[in-house]
Amino acid sequence: MSRIEELRVKLFSDGADLEGILEMYAKPWVRGFTTNPTLMRKAGVRDYEAFARTLLEAVPDRPISFEVFAEDEAGMERQALTIATWGANVNVKIPVTNRAGEFLGPLIRRLGEAGVALNVTAILTPEQVKRVAEALAPETAAMVSVFAGRIADTGIDPVPVMREAKRILRERPRAQLLWASPRELLNIFQSDEAGCDIITVAPEILRKLHLVGKDLTGYSLETVEMFHRDAQTAAYRIDTSATTAAGWESKSAAGAVPEDDVGRLGKPPHQMVGGGRGGTNLDRRA
Catalytic residue IDs: 93
DSSP label of 102: -
* Cα 273 from Cα 137, distance rounded (Å): 70
User: Are the C-beta atoms of 251 and 257 separated by less than 8 Å?
Assistant: yes
Q: What are phi and psi for residue 255, nearest 5 degrees?
A: 90, 15
* Cα 277 from Cα 259, distance rounded (Å): 20
User: Are the C-beta atoms of 7 and 188 separated by less than 8 Å?
Assistant: yes
Strand partners, 64: 33, 90
Residue type, 219: Y
User: Are the C-beta atoms of 10 and 200 separated by less than 8 Å?
Assistant: no
In this structure, the number of other CB atoms found within 10 A of the CB of residue 94 comes to 26
From residue 12, alpha-carbon distances to 31, 34, 53 in Å are 5, 7, 19
User: Are the C-beta atoms of 162 and 129 separated by less than 8 Å?
Assistant: no
Q: Which of 276, 225, 269 is nearest to 248 (CA)?
A: 269
Residue 32's contacts (CB-CB under 8 Å, 6 or more residues apart) are 10, 12, 13, 62, 63, 64, 65, 198, 200
In this structure, the number of other CB atoms found within 10 A of the CB of residue 29 comes to 12
